[in-house]
Amino acid sequence: MNAGAPICGQPGCNVGSDGKCKLRHDPVESCPNYAVEVEDAVETEVPDEPRAPPPVPIWSSDKLSPAELSALSRRRKLRVVALVGEEKVGKTTLLTSIFEMYCKGPFAGLTFAGSETLLGFAKLHSFALLSSGRSSPTVPRTSRRDGLSFFHLALARASGGTIDLAIADRSGESYADARASTDLIGTLTEFDLADRICFLLDGARLRSKDDRVAYTRNFRQMINALNDNGALAHAKDIELLSTKLDVSRGGDAADVGYGDEYRARIVSDFRAKGLHMSSHEICALPKADRTVGIVGLDDLVARWTSPAPPPDVAPRPIADAPRQIDRMLSKA
Q: Which pLDDT belongs to residue 18?
A: 76
Q: How far apart are CA 277 and CA 270, in angstroms?
A: 7
User: Could you tell me the pLDDT band of residue 290, with boundaries at 50, 70 and 90?
Assistant: confident
Residue 272 located in a structural domain: yes
Higher pLDDT, 309 or 237: 237
Q: Give the per-residue pLDDT at 44.
A: 56
- Bigger pLDDT: 236 or 151? 151
Q: Each residue of 198-219: pLDDT tens digit?
A: 999 998 888 888 888 999 999 9
| 327 lies in some domain | no
Q: What average pLDDT does this structure show over 299-326?
A: 81
**Residue 4: predicted pLDDT:** 47
Query: Is 94 in the same domain as 211?
Result: yes
Q: Give the pLDDT mean for 186-208.
A: 93
The top-scoring range by mean pLDDT among 16-20, 39-43, 114-118 is 114-118
Region of poorest pLDDT, from 40-54, 81-95, 119-133, 175-189: 40-54
pTM: 0.75
Identify whether 20 is part of a domain: yes
What's the chain's length in residues? 332
Mean pLDDT of 36-49: 55
For residues 30 and 158, membership in a common domain is answered with no
Grade residue 11 by pLDDT with cuts at 50, 70 and 90: confident
Q: Is the pLDDT of residue 5 over 60?
A: no
Q: Are residues 165 and 277 in the same domain?
A: yes
pLDDT the model gives residue 139: 76
| Range(s) of the domain holding residue 112 | 66-304
Average pLDDT (13-17) is 76
Same domain, yes or no, for 35 and 70? Answer: no
Residues 81 and 33 in one domain: no
Q: Comparing 2-6, 78-82, 108-112, which segment has the lowest mean pLDDT?
A: 2-6
Q: Does a structural domain hold residue 325?
A: no
> Quick one: 96 and 26 in the same domain?
no
Proportion of the chain above pLDDT 70, given as a percent: 90
Query: Does 131 share its domain with 20?
Result: no
**Predicted local confidence at residue 332, as pLDDT:** 64
Average pLDDT over every residue of 226-240: 93
Q: Given this model, what pLDDT does residue 14 score?
A: 77
Q: What is the pLDDT of residues 247-268, one digit of tens each?
A: 877 667 777 788 899 999 999 9
Q: How far apart are CA 206 and CA 212, in angstroms?
A: 5
Q: Is residue 160 part of a domain?
A: yes
Assess whether 292 and 145 both reside in one domain: yes
pLDDT above 70: residue 42:
no
Q: pLDDT averaged over the chain?
A: 85
Q: Shortest CA distance to 78 belongs to which of 203, 173, 163, 169?
A: 163
Extract long-range pairs of 119-126: CB within 8 Å, 24+ residues apart. 119/60, 119/61, 119/62, 120/61, 120/62, 120/63, 120/149, 120/151, 121/95, 121/96, 121/151, 123/62, 124/92, 124/95, 124/96, 124/99, 125/96, 125/99, 125/100
Q: Is 59 a domain residue?
A: no
Residue 1 confidence class, pLDDT cut points 50, 70, 90: very low
Q: Considering the chain, what percentage of its residues have pLDDT values greater than 90?
A: 50
Give the total number of structural domains in the chain.
2
